[in-house]
Structure 1
Amino acid sequence: MNNALPTAATLLAGVALLAASSAQADRSEWPDNFTVGTASQGGTYYVYGSGWANFIADELDISGGGEVTGGPTQNLALVHGGDVAFGLTTMGPASDAISGKSPLAPGLEMDNVCAMFPMYETPFSITALASSDIESIEDIPDGARIGFGPAASTSDTYFPAMLETLGVEFDRRNGGWSDLGGQLQDGLLDVIAFAAGIPIPAVSQLEVQTDVNIIEFTDAEVDTILENFPVAEFMIPASTYQTLEEDARAVSMWNFAIAGCDLPEDFVYEVTKVTMEQNDRMRSIHRSAATTIPENIDKNTVLPFHPGAARWYEENGYDIAEDMIK
């Protein structure tokens, strides 16, 4: 009978086997696949969300992809209802959704929506053809045909009210960003009021094909908007578009990736870990992801963080108040 003590190699092998078994057990609770709610094609959400979904699918060896949606407001409803695992949203619509004020479901408090990680700020910007001679908000004529993006999107929810507050009278139009860009170029629209991460693909495409004016807010207009809406001051860097010769004054809202609060903690932990630890890869998807970093988690003061996401932040030295964790 051999009573020899196990060797160090044997012990290490045993530990590795136990770790592998534990990981397999944790992973067994994961979904077989996942979907990310994005927005319309031609907008930053679609590029960012679809690219991020493919990145996560590759890194974690799980089937997943982006889905075209109506944008932030609809994504909140889809995540809350479990129709998609993840989504992209903006803080304004998120605040409305959890307080039962979503235009898609008035009175329903969407309490199955948790924050995962910060994305970027969404500037509110205005584009017109240079041939229109519209160079400022004051230049927008009464009855102008303005495209506000998909119905119930962040742009469609907030931009019309902002322009009304500034005294603009308009004919409201909706559609995907690429479609609206085509309509502007064809003379079917006078202005597009964008709320999307920069550079906006539809604007980048437009300025290659024709001359455009990217219209900035005046100081007085910014002050008026800040007094009436949940936004912050923002400057669009001149390097964003070929058309800009200097930084353009605007306002913005923060965007966050969201998850169903009932998703397995280990699954969301791994998704958060991969995203937060590979910012170079995220920036290769869309350059707005330069701000997709853990230092910006404090920009969320609305949604509770998913426990899986919160665990990664806390393990890496980022504090989250207990009442901000689901």
Structure 2
Amino acid sequence: MITRRHLIAATSLAGLGLPAVTSAQPRNPAWPRALNMGTAAPGGTYAIYGPAWGQIVQEATGVNISYRTTQGPNQNIILVNRKEVELGMVTMGVALQAWNGQGEWTQGNRFRDIRALFPMYDTPFHGIALRRSGITDHSQLNGKSVGVGPRGGTPGTYYPLILRALGVTPSAIRYGSASDLIGQVSDGLLDAFLFAAGAPIPAFSELETTNQVTIFGFTPAQMETIVKEIPELSKGKIPKGTYRTPTEDLNILGVYNFAIGHRSLPEDFVYELVKAVMTQNARMVQATAAAKETRPENWNKNTFLPFHPGAAKWFRENGFAVPDALVMA
């Protein structure tokens, strides 16, 4: 039965120049007929990126891929670990918390049934505000109302910690989907929206087409302060031209994203999954510019989360020396 969710996914894929979702038959009868992928709320990069690589995998393997809207990496980890979905996308900072059972959201539980599949892209933390607000820097957010994305997502987890490290105390921190919070900024109900996703963030791009905005990152001094408190974040830049508004590169802090799967996925299926995505970068970039970093040489952005054996096999066959200590069945 074709559901409304399938129709939405098919329409979205068609808009990205990708074929519509169709019924598939697994190339290997031992593979599952269908799998579910945890993505994220509308307005973020995962909502576009997930269906893009899911469609590529479906075409290559014949396994139907469907999509579940989630709060982001934290919830994706929980769902994959429980096998409520078999595929997901995470940021490596949150994945490190999950693997070690650290961070309030883990409640001390270690999520050890997740496996790394392939590198996606860096997630830059940055903010946006209407120009008329006068906000041009994180230091100006004392006493202001800010949105930080879904509570279970990467920005919802990290941005309160980032603001605390900077000694910034907003009057309110609100959680929700990127599309909802960007609407609140547009309507004057929020002073700023602070988020982290592959740049350009669709919700940011949407707002700057309808309003005069300021998109802001961090000063060098702010980055030094934050990294001392949150060492898993790394310094980077968003190049000028990624968005329409900024006139120079933005200094940002980022955390890398990886696709993950449940450890029980068949090894030969995961091999074909990784092969399909890693060899079709041009198609991924058609879906989202963030995918320009979806390249096999970035496998080493993961230093702790075990690769699925099927993924490790593809990387090794193609000249990337994944160490034995980073592979687990």
Contact 1:147/1:189, CA 8 A, preserved across alignment: yes
Partner of 1:53: 54
Matched residues in 1 for 2:287 and 2:136: separation? 32
Secondary structure (helix, strand or coil) at the match of 1:192 reads strand
Q: Where has structure 1 moved over 3 Å in runs of 4 or more?
A: 102-105
Matched residues in 1 for 2:154 and 2:237: separation? 19
Q: How do 1:1-326 residues align onto structure 2 when only pairs under 5 Å count?
A: 27-101=28-102, 103-140=104-141, 142-170=142-170, 171-229=172-230, 230-326=232-328
Q: Deviations over 1:13-67 (max 9, x none)?
A: xxxxxxxxxxx99822211101111110010011101221122222322211222
Unaligned runs of 5+ in 2: 1-24
The TM-score, its normalising length taken from structure 2, stands at 0.89
- 1:83 deviates by 0.8
Contact 1:46/1:66, CA 8 A, preserved across alignment: no
Matched residues in 1 for 2:59 and 2:297: separation? 25
Matched residues in 2 for 1:37 and 1:127: separation? 26
Contact 2:45/2:198, CA 8 A, preserved across alignment: yes
Matched residues in 1 for 2:208 and 2:250: separation? 16
Unaligned runs of 5+ in 1: 1-23
Contact 2:37/2:86, CA 8 A, preserved across alignment: yes
Q: Deviations over 1:161-186 (max 9, x none)?
A: 11111111111100000000000000
Q: Deviations over 1:120-160 (max 9, x none)?
A: 000000111101011122222x3211101001211011111
Matched residues in 1 for 2:207 and 2:98: separation? 33
Secondary structure (helix, strand or coil) at the match of 1:125 reads strand
- 1:317 deviates by 1.1
Which structure would you say has the larger Rg? Answer: 1
Q: Deviations over 1:236-278 (max 9, x none)?
A: 1111110011101111000000010111101111100101111
Contact 1:103/1:152, CA 8 A, preserved across alignment: no
Matched residues in 2 for 1:162 and 1:251: separation? 10
Greater mean alpha carbon deviation, residues 119-128 or residues 102-111:
102-111
Matched residues in 1 for 2:133 and 2:27: separation? 59
Contact 1:91/1:302, CA 8 A, preserved across alignment: no
Greater mean alpha carbon deviation, residues 86-95 or residues 282-291:
282-291
Matched residues in 1 for 2:270 and 2:118: separation? 11
Secondary structure (helix, strand or coil) at the match of 1:240 reads coil
The TM-score, its normalising length taken from structure 1, stands at 0.90
Matched residues in 1 for 2:298 and 2:280: separation? 15
Secondary structure (helix, strand or coil) at the match of 1:288 reads helix
Matched residues in 2 for 1:215 and 1:179: separation? 20
Over aligned residue pairs, what C-alpha RMSD do you find? Answer: 1.5
Matched residues in 2 for 1:26 and 1:321: separation? 30
- 1:218 deviates by 0.9
Contact 1:123/1:251, CA 8 A, preserved across alignment: yes
Secondary structure (helix, strand or coil) at the match of 2:272 reads helix
